[in-house]
């Protein structure tokens, strides 16, 4: 899809050129680790972290300090530096760690920049002003800067114009930890029945980037972190889309839920979430036993039709 602005090449772009170069450097490091295999360990029961995560975050932390020495850094792997500053980078050095660890080439580097003016409270959001998401396996660089649009490899992008959920391709994700307490399988069921399809590719940042460039119409998920979403939120908004919580309210970085879309189907999605939370108009998921009975009934009816003919 095409948009109206090109933040990657704008001569007055303040942050994107340097941040994009850092993301590419981190992505090259990830490719090297991916090519030779990865060493993994667990942060929780099933929450993976790799040597690549830590190496990439270290590289990003050092390079950001060199080019933006007064900016803070809030990273997934523990970096917490200069958080009292006016600008703060939310860093996911490897979004899609589980994919990476299994050799599945769907992961990225995500850098989102927040402006936090003087006097803002610690629990208050600032304004997201720049975002970079880099997919090193496809060499795809998604960039956005507030008021300057969004781009993919330097070419303007925009969300799709699909206007009905029935024709839309959606994306979601499931937590690697505490998965039994997540209700998302029920939402997955309902959206699958009502849309053109739902994809679960394992990288929230890339899912948001794909909404921004029109490859998908919407993305939803529970319990993400600021480093997962900061860059992608700005991409979607600058590409002409909309980002809220499931009720359609303003999205905050500490929100427990995110809904991003092309804007055209957003109200329909919010309405469906309202129905699901209220238990209205839901299609029950058949148990395996019920499926077997239904299949036998269909087969029996088919045999009877054949005999009658």
| pLDDT confidence tier of residue 2, bands split at 50, 70 and 90 | very low
- Is the pLDDT at 291 greater than 70? The verdict is yes
What distance in Å separates the CA atoms of residue 191 and residue 308, rounded to the nearest whole number? 39
Nearest Cα neighbor of 81 from 100, 68, 97, 94 is: 68
Give the CATH number for residue 20.
3.30.540.10
Q: Are residues 26 and 149 in the same domain?
A: yes
Comparing 59-63, 67-71, 97-101, the range with the smallest average pLDDT is: 97-101
Q: What is the pLDDT of residues 113-127, one digit of tens each?
A: 999 988 888 778 999
Tell me the pLDDT of the chain averaged across its residues.
Answer: 88
Asked whether residue 249 is assigned to any structural domain, the reply reads yes
Q: What's this model's pTM, rounded to 2 decimal places? A: 0.86
Total domains in the chain come to 2
Of 157, 181, 210, the residue that ends a domain is: 157
Q: What is the pLDDT of residues 184-193, one digit of tens each?
A: 988 998 999 9
**Which two structure tokens, joined as six digits, stand for 75?**
């990273």
Would you say the C-alpha torsion 215, 220, 225, 226 has a positive or negative sign?
A: positive
Tell me what pLDDT residue 181 has: 60
Asked whether residue 8 is assigned to any structural domain, the reply reads no
Asked whether residue 232 is assigned to any structural domain, the reply reads yes
Tell me what pLDDT residue 47 has: 44
Q: Domain range holding 26?
A: 16-157
Q: What is the pLDDT of residues 225-245, one digit of tens each?
A: 999 999 999 999 999 999 999
**Average pLDDT, stretch 247-253?**
94
What distance in Å separates the CA atoms of residue 43 and residue 161, rounded to the nearest whole number? 41
Check if the beta carbon of residue 171 is closer than 8 Å to that of residue 196. no
- Is the pLDDT at 6 greater than 50? The verdict is no
What distance in Å separates the CA atoms of residue 294 and residue 232, rounded to the nearest whole number? 43
C-alpha distance from residue 303 to each of 279, 292, 294, 298 (Å): 38, 16, 14, 9
Asked whether residue 97 is assigned to any structural domain, the reply reads yes
**Average pLDDT, stretch 262-270?**
97
Tell me what pLDDT residue 269 has: 97
- Is the pLDDT at 9 greater than 50? The verdict is no
Asked whether residue 298 is assigned to any structural domain, the reply reads no
Q: What is the pLDDT of residues 136-145, one digit of tens each?
A: 999 999 999 9
Tell me what pLDDT residue 5 has: 43
């Amino acid at each position: 899809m095409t948009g109206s602005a090109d933040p990657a090449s704008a001569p007055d772009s303040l942050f994107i050129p340097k941040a994009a170069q850092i993301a590419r450097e981190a992505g090259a490091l990830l490719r090297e680790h991916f090519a030779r295999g990865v060493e993994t360990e667990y942060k929780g029961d099933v929450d993976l972290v790799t040597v690549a995560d830590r190496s990439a975050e270290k590289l990003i932390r050092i390079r950001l300090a060199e080019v933006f020495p007064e900016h803070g850094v809030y990273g997934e792997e523990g970096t917490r530096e200069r958080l009292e500053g006016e600008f703060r980078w939310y860093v996911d050095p490897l979004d899609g760690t589980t994919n990476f660890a299994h050799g599945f080439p769907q992961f990225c580097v995500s850098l989102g920049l927040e402006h936090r003016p003087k006097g803002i409270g610690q629990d208050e959001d600032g304004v997201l002003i720049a975002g970079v998401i880099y997919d090193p396996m496809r060499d795809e660089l998604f960039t956005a800067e507030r008021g300057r649009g969004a781009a993919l490899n330097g070419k303007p992008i925009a969300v799709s114009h699909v206007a009905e959920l029935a024709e839309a391709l959606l994306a979601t994700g499931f937590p690697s930890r505490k998965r039994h307490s997540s209700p998302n399988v029920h939402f997955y069921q309902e959206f699958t029945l009502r849309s053109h399809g739902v994809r679960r590719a394992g990288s929230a940042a890339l899912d948001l980037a794909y909404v921004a460039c029109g490859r998908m119409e919407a993305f939803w998920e529970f319990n993400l972190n600021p480093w997962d979403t900061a860059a992608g939120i700005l991409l979607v908004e600058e590409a002409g889309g909309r980002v809220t919580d499931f009720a359609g309210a303003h999205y905050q970085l500490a929100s427990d839920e995110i809904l991003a879309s092309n804007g055209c189907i957003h109200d329909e999605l919010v309405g469906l979430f309202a129905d699901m939370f209220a238990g209205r108009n839901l299609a029950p998921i058949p148990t395996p036993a019920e499926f077997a009975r239904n299949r036998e009934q269909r087969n029996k009816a088919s045999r009877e039709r054949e005999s009658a003919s």
